[in-house]
Structure 1
């Protein structure tokens, strides 16, 4: 098995945190479009589910268990599209922002802004698919599709507020599990398997997913369902959303953050576990970004090996001078099985990489290993200061023009209001 193709649970948890940080820094127009596109892609599962309920009445009447299994097989297709395209889905963002908040990578304001925008614009995307794609194309205007849409919506409305909320807890627990598992695998076919299993489970168990229910609600109302909007909002959408938040937050806090980040780093510190990593493995973010990893005490790609002596590369300090350190190789140092079993690695290690120490990560881009030290908030995703009593002060962007921190929407709003209040106070 190629280690490059799979991540550990700790690496995947760091990627969840960094993905939440990345999403909090999306520009408003990008966030809106991504949320609409996410709903359009995810509605694929809803449309296929409607086809099954409409075109196979014999299964509906004679074998409802098989019907659930078929429905559960279709929804993972839409979620795969969302994941691969890096679109915004409210239910997945519950996981990302909950874990990022626990890691202090985002603020509560960032979380509320993202959840509010993605929920409403996921609804806009479903309205677009329901009215423009499905209704005006007449693809769901036959009597069978009308009956199927009524049946789907009525089946959701049979449950009370509390029942749908509990079903929502189970629904987003499994959705969060699917998102988390697929992060661990880079091959697309393995991602699909990791998505398929949890989604198949919760759909077959008839749990609730608020974004999936949006398409069912829209197409049911287009076909003149007897359920009123007030009843739909109170008995389905609102309890489903609350349950999804509880279920996703529980998974994110207990499993992703506590078990796979906090406990791992606590035990690593208490047991003084060594690091044997040979290369800089950067966990994959939501398809298009990278996350900073904590640097090894001796990072093998950054050293020259000369006659058994490790020579660290020259580092240019602020005064323009250079410093070089040499460390004698001793038998009591951390073992390096890779070097012992691959003598040719010595020659490869002697080819030093170009130093980028004077370059800071550009604005709105996550720090990449090899660049200047990331700012304090970005360093938290790599665990550099997770257990330190004293954390360095934040770099003041107003005093340092080179400190281009990728600011979140919430921090931008706070800065705007703070600046205005200061100006008003000065004028007074």
Structure 2
């Protein structure tokens, strides 16, 4: 599968972070818009499969098609840049500043949200025949998801917020692993296999992905879900973004960078001597 060793693909991670920070505003927003839109279509696809088959595993197995497509096309998700952009700062690349990192995060967030909202509006039209009837079975399911993952967390108070945050951490631990997976191989098949596995895991486990939620929750509001915009922001999107940042940067970006770029001092070779033997002069 044309596998690259860790020292090579981790260097590519740092290079990718640097290139994203210096990318033009136009290109950043367009790429983020398309990433948010494609991932949203994949989420709608997965929910449709779950409703029609009654098998959540089937939806999880097929959901990664959207993630693989958007990364093969060079588009950007917030979950990916939360991990990649800071690596260029940590590596002290010339001209990279916290301002550049935050600019990249902000533009990708806006682009992802715009793409996800566009698809949410389109799918709401489909689910309701142009808002002329009640949502179909898939639309109703999306509304229930929005309720359970906002007011459902709120009902548990601080414990609910902690659960939401940890789900965000675990989500981007897996999603960032998928982003790295795209850099592990020089072949399309190798990239797809490496991306597919962790994305399938996060989706089936119900972890919280900030960009998927940009589609699910506006869709839920459009389709009659019983929660508010503030419920969505406070009891999902904001804690999810923070969890995604911690999960991707801490458990993937920094661990790989620390041990494959800024490695620890190597141990001196140990001489294998017989007991009582004296080293030769």
TM interval, short-chain normalised: 0.7 to 0.9
Deviations 1:138-157 (A, max 9, x none): 57764312321122222322
What's the counterpart of residue 218 of structure 2?
218
What is the CA distance between 1:24 and its match in structure 2?
1.1
Asked whether the equivalents of residues 178 and 198 of structure 1 are also in contact (C-alpha less than 8 Å), the reply is yes
Deviations 1:184-218 (A, max 9, x none): 11211221111111111122221111101111112
TM-score, structure 2 as length reference: 0.85
147, 154, 159: which one aligns with 2:147: 154
111, 123, 126: which one aligns with 1:134: 123
Deviations 1:300-340 (A, max 9, x none): xxxxxxxxxxxxxxxxxxxxxxxxxxxxxxxxxxxxxxxxx
1:47 lines up with 2:44 in the alignment:
yes
28, 31, 40: which one aligns with 1:31: 28
Say which SS state the counterpart of residue 207 (structure 1) adopts: coil
Paired with 1:139 and 1:180, the residues of 2 have a C-alpha distance of 39
RMSD of the alignment, in Å? 2.0
What's the counterpart of residue 114 of structure 1?
104
What's the counterpart of residue 14 of structure 1?
11
**Structure 1 segments of 4+ aligned residues over 6 angstroms from their partners:** none
Task: Decide which moves more: 245-254 or 201-210.
Answer: 245-254
Asked whether the equivalents of residues 38 and 82 of structure 1 are also in contact (C-alpha less than 8 Å), the reply is yes
Paired with 1:118 and 1:210, the residues of 2 have a C-alpha distance of 12
Q: Which has the higher helix share?
A: 2
Greater gyration radius: 1
1:100 lines up with 2:93 in the alignment:
no
What is the CA distance between 1:254 and its match in structure 2?
3.4
Deviations 1:352-385 (A, max 9, x none): xxxxxxxxxxxxxxxxxxxxxxxxxxxxxxxxxx
Paired with 1:97 and 1:181, the residues of 2 have a C-alpha distance of 17
Paired with 1:151 and 1:189, the residues of 2 have a C-alpha distance of 36
Asked whether the equivalents of residues 36 and 115 of structure 2 are also in contact (C-alpha less than 8 Å), the reply is yes
What's the counterpart of residue 292 of structure 1?
none
What's the counterpart of residue 179 of structure 1?
179
Paired with 2:197 and 2:35, the residues of 1 have a C-alpha distance of 21
Number of equivalenced pairs: 256
Say which SS state the counterpart of residue 262 (structure 1) adopts: coil
* Structure showing greater relative contact order (alpha-carbon pairs closer than 8 Å, 6 or more residues apart): 2
What is the CA distance between 1:135 and its match in structure 2?
2.6
